[in-house]
Structure 1
Amino acid sequence: MDCLSTASASAVVSLLEDFSLEMTGKDVPTLEEARDCIPAGTRINITFLGNEDLGVRLAAARAVQQFGYTPVPHISARRLRSRAELEQFLDALRSAGTAENVFVIGGDPPTPHGPYDDSLALIESGLLQEYGVRHVGISGYPAGHPAIAGPTLWSAIKDKTAALARHELTGDIITQFGFDATPVLTWVEAVRARGIDTPVRIGVPGPAGIKRLMTYATRFGVGTSTSIAKKYGFSITNLMGTAGPDRFVRALADGYDPHRHGVIKLHFYTFGGIKASARWVADFRTQEAKLT
């Protein structure tokens, strides 16, 4: 075993520490099945889907906590119909003891359903900390956003991190998923160059069918050219197989420099199911640990 291979494997193991996962309200049964391969305390984000009501979201947050993990409920700004609806959700989270960590996002609707235009408006409302929120996740877009111009995205991330500091809230940046590590790390370096030292959780697509990955990539505006797909490890002309993020995670670990990139961690989008993603992390980390 050469020193380079040992160092690379060690970097992968380090990068897989304190990873986070994503789930929906309907994933609670699968989460329970995956408990044997998810470390206690793991942060698990709970999406804010338009077809799930308060009861479903709250039940998911409670289940995550009861299983020994850290619930991170999402709040979709443009889906909220009123200040009262936001307060109702936050109050329910506080009553359940699951309000300390949230993730705020603008959300899919092009037109706000209520008074909140974007996630910055949620932070500036002052309601988060009033209801016991202490840590807030915000979004980052290394590959850009199909509906938002680049300069606007940079302004937004600077404004949101500044607002968190003003409101004495800690936070992290969770990025969209991608297939090419190089532009992701370049983007993180650009974040640091703007004086933002907030920890970054890099979005990683968990193992899933290639067709499913392509569908989500198209939906979220993530590039999947032939060269990028080949680098990731799948062919866009053959959609019958499955793909895991082995090459992507190794490339991140190889290119990561704490002095240039600051604190980074991994956030897994569980397109192939939360159990599949959690099992992949456990197996891959064990595999790499044997090489160190």
Structure 2
Amino acid sequence: MTDTHSEAQLTLAELLKDFSLEVTGKEQEKLADAADHIPQGTRVNVTYLGNEDRASRVGTAASARRLGFTPVPHISARLVDSETELRDFLSDLGEADAAHSVFVIAGDPPAPHGPYSDALAVIDTGLFAGHGVEDVSISGYPEGHPSISAAKLWDALEDKIRSLERQGIPTSITTQFSFDADRVLDWIAEVRRRGFDLPIRIGVPGPAGVRRLVRFASRFGIASSAGIVKKYGFSLTNLLGTAGPDRFLADITEGYSREVHGDLRVHFYTFGDIEATSRWVEESLAVHR
């Protein structure tokens, strides 16, 4: 990675400003319980998982809006059964005042359930403008993807950005969570080198049980166990504690260059513990302001 220590112009408080959170469609109550620790207007991503239904996804997005947050419902392309289902979902979100911002991903199934094989296929439908969507987030993979080559990932990223540009829809990137700050910063520098100056939200694991972190890292092909140990400084033989994002974010701020990396924010994957993550951010901001 380029040595940027002398150019670092980013404090933790600046990095955490306008952070976002991710919750599942089944976590309305948890979001409400944590609401006092989350700034008004915070972007709250709502997942689109196979074990959720449309009512729970829309309900949680609507709840986020009522609580004073900005809902960002996910659309998982391969889980959408039909164009009718996509239209109905967007319509329901619109009725709940929760369609202004969405996050589009390909999704986990190896084969699509319907006509959409990837996020670009959903974006290219042109349905967003007619349903009140004002900005679209897309995914980024600083540590790669277990089943997609790096070249294809870059092509897909560029195709999605270009399609949204043609439609006049502002976009941003939210990255998969990582434990390797160097790889994240190098990946962001490459995004900028390719001419894209859109906002990037760095995916970060919130404070979560170590066992849970390891399980999710393995699921998404992110960081070997050795890499997790190195970055988080704990022993995999003692999985009883928690690991926080402190060290990772410190590495990001240390290696950051405004000229090289541009507009960066943080997106927290809460792994079912919204309140722990919200309290961690609240406390960190109080200390580092």
Query: Aligning the two structures, in what range does the TM-score lie when normalised by the shorter sequence?
Result: over 0.9
Secondary structure in 2 matching 1:177: coil
Q: CA deviation at 1:86?
A: 0.3
Amino acid at match of 1:31: L
Amino acid at match of 2:238: N
Secondary structure in 2 matching 1:34: helix
Q: Which residue of 2 aligns with 1:241?
A: 241
Q: CA deviation at 1:235?
A: 2.3
C-alpha change, 1:28 and 1:272, in structure 2 (3 Å) is closer
Q: Which residue of 2 aligns with 1:139?
A: 139
Q: CA deviation at 1:54?
A: 1.0
Q: CA deviation at 1:70?
A: 0.1
Show CA shifts across 1:49-70 (max 9, x none).
1111111111101100000000
Q: CA deviation at 1:271?
A: 1.5
Map 1:157-176 → 2, pairs under 5 A: 157-176=157-176
Show CA shifts across 1:4-47 (max 9, x none).
xxx98971111010000000111111111111110000000000
Contact 2:137 2:171 in 1 (8 A): yes
C-alpha change, 1:251 and 1:272, in structure 2 (3 Å) is farther
Q: Which residue of 2 aligns with 1:209?
A: 209
Measured in 2, the distance between the counterparts of 1:141 and 1:115 equals 24
Measured in 1, the distance between the counterparts of 2:214 and 2:165 equals 37
Amino acid at match of 1:178: S
Map 1:1-292 → 2, pairs under 5 A: 11-289=11-289
Show CA shifts across 1:225-250 (max 9, x none).
42552232322332221110111111
Show CA shifts across 1:148-201 (max 9, x none).
111000000111111110010011100010112111001000111111111110
Contact 2:202 2:266 in 1 (8 A): yes
Contact 1:179 1:229 in 2 (8 A): no
Name the TM-score, length of structure 1 as normaliser. Answer: 0.94
Identity of aligned residues (%): 52
Contact 2:12 2:253 in 1 (8 A): yes
Secondary structure in 1 matching 2:11: helix
Task: Specify every segment of 5 or more residues in structure 2 that has no aligned partner in the other structure, as ranges.
Answer: 1-6
C-alpha change, 1:160 and 1:184, in structure 2 (3 Å) is same
Contact 1:123 1:160 in 2 (8 A): yes
Deviates more, 1:223-232 or 1:194-203: 223-232
Q: Which residue of 2 aligns with 1:4?
A: none
Measured in 2, the distance between the counterparts of 1:172 and 1:224 equals 28
Amino acid at match of 2:109: P
Secondary structure in 1 matching 2:14: helix
Secondary structure in 2 matching 1:25: coil
Contact 1:179 1:224 in 2 (8 A): no
Secondary structure in 1 matching 2:27: helix
Measured in 2, the distance between the counterparts of 1:234 and 1:19 equals 26
Name the TM-score, length of structure 2 as normaliser. Answer: 0.95
Contact 2:139 2:176 in 1 (8 A): yes
Secondary structure in 2 matching 1:57: helix
Q: CA deviation at 1:95?
A: 1.4
Aligned length: 283
Amino acid at match of 1:101: S
C-alpha change, 1:30 and 1:9, in structure 2 (3 Å) is farther
Contact 2:9 2:257 in 1 (8 A): no
Amino acid at match of 2:240: M
Q: CA deviation at 1:224?
A: 2.9
Measured in 2, the distance between the counterparts of 1:167 and 1:243 equals 41
Contact 1:9 1:288 in 2 (8 A): no
Q: CA RMSD in A?
A: 1.5
Measured in 2, the distance between the counterparts of 1:182 and 1:124 equals 33
Task: Specify every segment of 5 or more residues in structure 1 that has no aligned partner in the other structure, as ranges.
Answer: 1-6
